[in-house]
């Protein structure tokens, strides 16, 4: 009978040890995922700030016209376009 109790105790301890190791592995994996998600969230927030700044910049007609002229050789009627290469 005593041997049965000792054997049952050992089996319970082994089972709990395995569960504890699995718990720590899961915790480490979730920690890595949280770190990755947190970094991604920071990058998305920074991109969002850049987009908001661009939206504010381009919402002014003079800035939009300046960019059109610089990137697409746009000119207003009556203006002359000089290209220097």
pLDDT tens digits, one per residue of 43-84: 999 999 999 999 999 999 899 888 888 888 777 788 877 777
Mean pLDDT on 25-44: 97
The pTM of the full predicted model, rounded to 2 decimals, is 0.59
- Quick check: 65 and 74 in contact, CB under 8 A? yes
What pLDDT score was predicted for residue 77?
Answer: 81
Mean pLDDT estimate for the chain: 91
Would you say residue 40 has pLDDT above 90?
Answer: yes
What is the C-alpha separation between 65 and 68, in angstroms, rounded? 5
Show me where the domains of the chain are located.
Answer: 2-71
Q: What angle in degrees, to the nearest 10, is found between the helix axes of 2-58 and 61-72?
A: 90
- pLDDT tier for residue 14 given thresholds of 50, 70 and 90: very high
Distances (CA, A) of 85 to 22, 26, 68: 66, 61, 18
Q: Mean pLDDT over residues 6-24, rounded?
A: 96
Q: Tell me the percentage of the chain whose pLDDT exceeds 90.
A: 71
């Amino acid at each position: 009978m005593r041997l049965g109790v000792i054997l049952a105790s050992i089996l319970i301890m082994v089972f709990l040890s395995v569960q504890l190791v699995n718990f720590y592995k899961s915790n480490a994996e979730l920690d890595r995922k949280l770190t990755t998600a947190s970094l991604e969230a920071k990058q998305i927030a920074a991109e969002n700030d850049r987009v908001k700044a661009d939206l504010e910049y381009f919402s002014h007609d003079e800035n939009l016209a300046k960019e059109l002229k610089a990137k697409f050789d746009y000119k207003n009627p009556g203006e002359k376009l000089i290209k220097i290469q």
